[in-house]
Amino acid sequence: MTQREGGKQNYRDSELQRYNDEELDRLYKDPNTPTKLKQRIKREQKQRGVRNKQKRENP
**CA-CA distance, 51 to 14, in Å (whole number)?**
18
Q: What is the pTM of this model?
A: 0.73
What is the residue extent of each domain of the chain? 16-48
14-37 pLDDT tens trace: 889 899 999 999 999 999 999 999
**For the chain, how far is it from start to end, CA to CA, in angstroms?**
27
How many H-runs (helices) and E-runs (strands) does the chain carry?
A: 3, 0
32-55 pLDDT tens trace: 999 999 999 998 998 888 888 777
Q: Work out the burial of residue 43: count CB atoms within 10 Å of its CB; fewer than 13 is exposed, 13-18 middle, 19 or more buried.
A: middle
**CA-CA distance, 51 to 28, in Å (whole number)?**
11
